[in-house]
Amino acid sequence: MHSVSSNPTLLGLLQGARGRVLWFCWIGWVFDFHDLILFSFCKRAVAAELQIDATSLAWIEGLSLFASAIGALVFGRIADVIGRRRAMTASILVYSLGALCTGLADGVAALALARALAGLGIGGEWGIGHAVIGETFDGRDRDRAHALLQSGGPLGMALAAGTGLFLAPVIGWRLVFMLSALPALLAFFARYAMPGADAPPVRRAESGRASALLSPVHRRATIVLFAILFLHMTGFWCVYAEMPNALMRDLLATPAEAGAYQLTVNAAHLVADIAFGCLAARYSRGRVFTVMCVGFAATQLAMAFGWESLTRDLLVFTLVAAVMGLGVGTWSCFGALFDELYPATLRATAAALLYSLSRGAQLVAKPCSQALAEWHGSMQPTLWIGATCALGSAALYRCLPAATWHATKSHDAAAHP
């Protein structure tokens, strides 16, 4: 994959051969995240039909996130050793099969296995997509392209909210998950969209081992990035992604009201993801990351302090939460960081593995958060945790190599140590 000269407009990134790559990776990420988050919006109906208690359901969700870490290692290595396109296609097929099996599950064991299978496929797609984007775009375009790719996340979440809270009550959660297997059709378009991603970035004999992530050259970046991603994941899965269920549980909101809430918040999140790339290309990436983290933390603290008054009015609560969504644009930062910190021989492995290991760590964090919310009777304690995670992320960013603080940095494997 080869970079081309910078185009200053977002529209320019979506045109030509590199535009096809960005579109394909973006669509893959939309449906990847849609399938992962869809379970959160359907789990009340799933639990009622299969007679699963809240604790067991939280462990099943955690298992899916944990499986994504295993899938990240597998598909990340396939991408770095065999080729990006083959790995991307395989990951899409696996998570689509997991969605189909979820719709066919007839008990706790079958459901757990289905969600684990979905997690395996979901684990690889994010890292591979960002590795491909990093090798297709350069300069200031790179930050913008990564931001556009990351914007598929909130769109996938909004799509999941729409299907889970509006469509599932009409056609049933089983059919919703079966329809979610349709992204498998994307595999047929991979050769057209990613014609230059057939081969691995280097010869197999030169491919870096996964253990190189902890070599003296990469150890600091790997440890700090994992810590930041873990905090981000905890804040997202225990607070941000759990809020619609909390509204239905604590505020007795209807699924339609929770859906409207989620769509509003995701609209703000979508704007924030794209804005991060544009602002990072113009200003300091580190400063934009810090400002968004502080804003995310401040909004959660405001919600925690004003929980009782905010929860009296769902509209006001939604508007405040939308402001919180503006702080989640920090996710657009990570793709560019992996580009700059790792060579092509390790890039997909590093991105997929660290991203999904931090997601897999939610196997413990999510049930604990669920138990804490049930003990307290509200989400106030988890909002405190989310604010702490955001501020911790901002502080840890300072521990990354100094070059990552700047807006852009032309980077390729040849220049990397």
Rounded to an integer, the average pLDDT of 115-136 is: 84
What is the domain partition of the chain in residue ranges? 18-200+210-415
Distances (CA, A) of 92 to 23, 124, 159, 355, 360: 15, 9, 17, 17, 19
Rounded to an integer, the average pLDDT of 296-314 is: 88
Q: Tens of pLDDT along 9-29?
A: 666 777 777 888 888 888 888
Rounded to an integer, the average pLDDT of 44-59 is: 86
Report the range of poorest mean pLDDT among 116-125, 222-231, 248-257. Answer: 248-257
**What pTM, to 2 d.p., does this model score?**
0.75
pLDDT at 412 over 60: no
More confident residue, 274 or 255: 274
The pLDDT value recorded for residue 203 is 47
Percent of the chain at pLDDT exceeding 70: 88
Rounded to an integer, the average pLDDT of 55-61 is: 83
Distances (CA, A) of 237 to 26, 35, 79, 413: 21, 15, 27, 34
pLDDT at 1 over 60: no
The pLDDT value recorded for residue 129 is 82
Distances (CA, A) of 352 to 91, 121, 148: 11, 11, 18
Residue 361 has which token pair? 């760590």
Cβ-Cβ contacts under 8 Å for 349 (sequence gap 6 or more) = 73, 76, 77, 79, 80, 127, 208, 210, 213
Q: With contact defined as beta carbons under 8 Å apart, do 333 and 276 qualify?
A: yes
pLDDT at 201 over 70: no
Q: Tens of pLDDT along 136-173?
A: 887 778 878 888 888 888 888 888 888 988 899 999 99
pLDDT at 211 over 70: yes
Rounded to an integer, the average pLDDT of 333-337 is: 86
Instruction: Say which amino acid occupies 51.
Output: Q
The pLDDT value recorded for residue 152 is 86
Rounded to an integer, the average pLDDT of 323-347 is: 86
The pLDDT value recorded for residue 200 is 54
pLDDT at 206 over 50: no
Instruction: Say which amino acid occupies 96.
Output: S
The pLDDT value recorded for residue 58 is 80
The pLDDT value recorded for residue 112 is 93
Q: With contact defined as beta carbons under 8 Å apart, do 76 and 345 qualify?
A: no
Give the rounded distance of the alpha carbon of 194 from its chain centre: 22
Q: With contact defined as beta carbons under 8 Å apart, do 290 and 399 qualify?
A: no
pLDDT at 298 over 90: yes
Give 411's pLDDT tier (boundaries 50, 70, 90). Answer: very low
Would you give the end-to-end CA distance of the chain in angstroms? 20
> Minimal CA–CA distance to 277: which of 128, 126, 142?
142
pLDDT at 2 over 80: no
The pLDDT value recorded for residue 176 is 93
Q: Tens of pLDDT along 97-124?
A: 999 999 999 989 999 999 999 988 887 7
More confident residue, 98 or 190: 98
* CATH number given to 18-200+210-415: 1.20.1250.20
The pLDDT value recorded for residue 404 is 60
Rounded to an integer, the average pLDDT of 120-141 is: 81
SS in 3 state form for the chain?
CCCCCCCCCHHHHCCHHHHHHHHHHHHHHHHHHHHHHHHHHHHHHHHHHHCCCHHHHHHHHHHHHHHHHHHHHHHHHHHHHCCHHHHHHHHHHHHHHHHHHHHHCCCHHHHHHHHHHHHHHHHHHHHHHHHHHHHHCCHHHHHHHHHHHHCHHHHHHHHHHHHHHHHHHHHCHHHHHHHCCHHHHHHHHHHHHCHHHCCCCCCHHHCCCHHHHHCCCCHHHHHHHHHHHHHHHHHHHHHHCCHHHHHHHHCCCCHHHHHHHHHHHHHHHHHHHHHHHHHHHHCCHHHHHHHHHHHHHHHHHHHHHCHHHHCCCHHHHHHHHHHHHHHHHHHHHHHHHHHHHCCCCCHHHHHHHHHHHHHHCHHHHHHHHHHHHHHHCCCHHHHHHHHHHHHHHHHHHCCCCHHHHCCCCCCCHHHCC
Rounded to an integer, the average pLDDT of 256-269 is: 86
